[in-house]
Chains A and B, each alone.
Chain A
Amino acid sequence: MVDAPSTNTDNNPADAFLQGAPSLKNAPGPYFGNYGGRWMPESLIAALDELEDTFNKAKADPEFLAQIADLNKNYSGRPSLLTEAKRFSEYAGGARVFLKREDLNHTGSHKINNVLGQALLAKRMGKTRVIAETGAGQHGVASATAAALLGLECVVYMGAEDCRRQALNVARMQLLGATVVPVTSGSQTLKDAINDALRDWVSNVDSTHYLLGTAAGAHPFPSMVRFFHQVIGDEARSQILEQVGKLPDAICACVGGGSNAIGIFHGFLDDPSVKIFGFEAGGDGVETGRHAATISLGKPGVLHGARSYLMQDDDGQTVESHSISAGLDYPGVGPEHAYLSDIGRVSYEPITDTEAMDAFKLLCQSEGIIPAIETAHALAGAIKVGHRLTEGQANPQDTVIIVNLSGRGDKDVATAADWFDLLNEDGSVKGTNLSTRAPKGPAERAAAQEEMQL
């Protein structure tokens, strides 16, 4: 009964748009074509209605918009830079590559844009507590940050496997005053953290706002999260016009749930000359089954409140995803991406772990920027797109590509060190245990203090 939505080009919204039909921007939800909606327990519908109402009023309220603009400027450090990656460009067929530097935001990724907006909405609704899920830890850290700034209690659900992969971020969240709950059910990664956050929400909905971290979930989350991230695309569009004097030929972003991607895509959806690319986690390779390439290989279904593409088996059970990047390790994807894929406005392609890590190293050593491993998928994609668009071109530098550099890679240093064989078997960094003197650090100071007291 449930067929894949029609991609009939005779009545294709992307084509219709190119012929002058209404804009693809500011899609309000709840539906994006056949996707989106509210596949949620009745217990949570009132809270979703309240959130939708609060959000609709807030985005029309100059005071709220001024609050957001002020926090973006004076707390997050926006606008983020648009940096030309001149040495990296050589590896992308000679196309000019520009990096939208979301890694330079406070907390180190795009995630801060959304959490500040939603935390302000939580305050408007009179909620005293926010809960969040996190995969890589970036959204958890951003949520803990916003909660600390605005005086809200914060509980973060994080898969136990992700806690292990991203231990540094667990400590960061705790330093910021949040409680981290390791989730040991299911695959112990992001989807299970969302399940436990939903169970918390349904039990505590009077006091609690669920600060969902990606442009997925039940309405109004997909369009609301996009709204708070649109600043990425809006800034990038005016920055590239100022620096280059024309629109880019292509936009590249990584897609897990898809929040950084929808944020930058949105600025260019109505520019027909701009090709848009989303790069999913191909894990060990899509042919191995060990990946998180939801749009590339998933089938429509409902999970976590929305109808979208979904990695599932023949029984409709969610299939475990695989990626070296915890932030992309999610078997679903935001419904607006599913729609943009179906209508042909955005192309979604998988990038393997190996391709992503090669691009990771390349950016480190050609530009002096350590990207998040999530972001490295977009960089690997940009290399491919660059070669494709410049092939046979006499002046490849006429081709301009913007990559959303969605996050910095500090959190990924341990994973990358392991991948590039920089570690001893015990996990310590090679060449760091040659000292022959007594340790100089907290332990030594404690010993010295003890001696003084004796």
Chain B
Amino acid sequence: MSATTSSKSAAAIDRARDAGRSALICYLPAGYPDVQATIDAGIAMARNGADLIEIGIPYSDPVMDGPVIQAATTEAIANGFKVEKVFDVVRGITEATDAAVLVMTYWNPVVRMGVDTFARRLSEAGGAGLITPDLIPDEAAEWFAASDYYGLDRVFLVAPSSTPERLASTVAASRGFVYAVSIMGVTGARQDVSSSAQQLVADTHAAGADRVCVGLGVSNSGHVREIAAYADGVIVGTALVAAIRDGGVDAVASLTQELSTGLERVEA
């Protein structure tokens, strides 16, 4: 991975590592139920144990998302969410907390705004970078240029189906951390975390990644504990979306706290 020293995400993960634990990365979509709630919930997550915050841009065709996140983002769009509001969310959280704030987005909204313009505005808002679920390094030439220019992290995904060659090229293209998809599937809470995740993290480390974080299907502190034993960070999404849906910002705060109890590394 290149230029890790200037990476806000890497710095946040390293702070957790220095404290002897994995990092907790918490996701919520912007504008659900409204923009202010996302800012408040983001701040609450940061104050209750989240090291990095991942803010999703609601999109009309979220092919990597399961029903809970689909319902939330569809409602956000129906309520009038505009893409540029994501910069207000990023700014609101970064001004109030020390958490690194990443934006998770499908690629077309970035294309529409213009990759360079999007990167500039994200940088101005204090954002750390982008997680791009439907952009692979092979198609990311414009994003390489813009993320280098503005010093933003580019978090690409690796999956259990990724070949060794693709693991190597994706690791080389990433900055901040590499997002390991725990299972072949879409977002959503699951009973168990797949065993394929541990192997994928090991393979991704072996391919040269300094920081590998695991997401998809992680919903409680038990899952967090299991993954924290081998990964540099643990990513939780759907469970937090269900929490804000059912119990608002308070429920997000207490779930984040509960999740963070799984982070302490129990060394044998």
Contact = CB atoms under 8 A, between A and B. Distances in A.
Interface in A34-86: 37-47, 49
Contact of B163 (A41, A46, A203, A316): A46
Interface string B137-158: 0110010001000000000111
Nearest to A332: B61
Nearest to A3: B114
A45 B108 contact: no
A45 B160 CA distance: 11
Main secondary structure of the interface of A (DSSP, over half): mixed
Max count, chain B CB within 10 A of own CB: residue among A185, A302, A316: A316
B63 A199 contact: yes
B136 interface: yes
A341 interface: no
Contacts of B19: none
B237 to A, nearest CB: 15
Interface string B92-113: 0000000000000001111111
A122 to B, nearest CB: 17
A10 B37 CA distance: 54
A237 interface: no
Interface stretch (A307-315, A363-371, A373-381, A404-412): A307-315
A49 B163 CA distance: 10
B116 interface: yes
Interface string A182-209: 0001100001100100110011111000
Interface in A182-240: 185-186, 191-192, 195, 198-199, 202-206
B185 A41 contact: no
Contact of B110 (A42, A195, A204, A316): A316
Contact of B108 (A40, A41, A47, A316): A316
B111 A301 contact: yes
Contacts of A302: 107-108, 111, 134
Contact of A2 (B66, B70, B142, B166): B142
Given A303-B108, A312-B108, A41 B114 contact: no
A317 B60 contact: yes
Contacts of A38: 136, 138-139
Given A43-B181, A45-B161, A315 B112 contact: yes
Contacts of A195: 61-63
A37 B142 contact: no
B109 A317 contact: yes
A46 B160 CA distance: 10
A312 B112 contact: yes
Contacts of A204: 184
Contacts of B135: 39
Given A195-B61, A312-B108, A1 B117 contact: yes
Contacts of A300: 111
Interface in B58-102: 59-64, 66, 70, 74, 77, 82-83
A310 B112 CA distance: 11
B63 to A, nearest CB: 4
Top-8 shortest CB links A-B? A316-B112, A316-B109, A43-B159, A46-B161, A203-B185, A1-B114, A317-B60, A318-B60
Interface of A: 1-2, 37-47, 49, 185-186, 191-192, 195, 198-199, 202-206, 299-304, 310, 312, 314-318
Interface of B: 59-64, 66, 70, 74, 77, 82-83, 107-117, 133-136, 138-139, 142, 146, 156-163, 166, 170, 181, 184-186
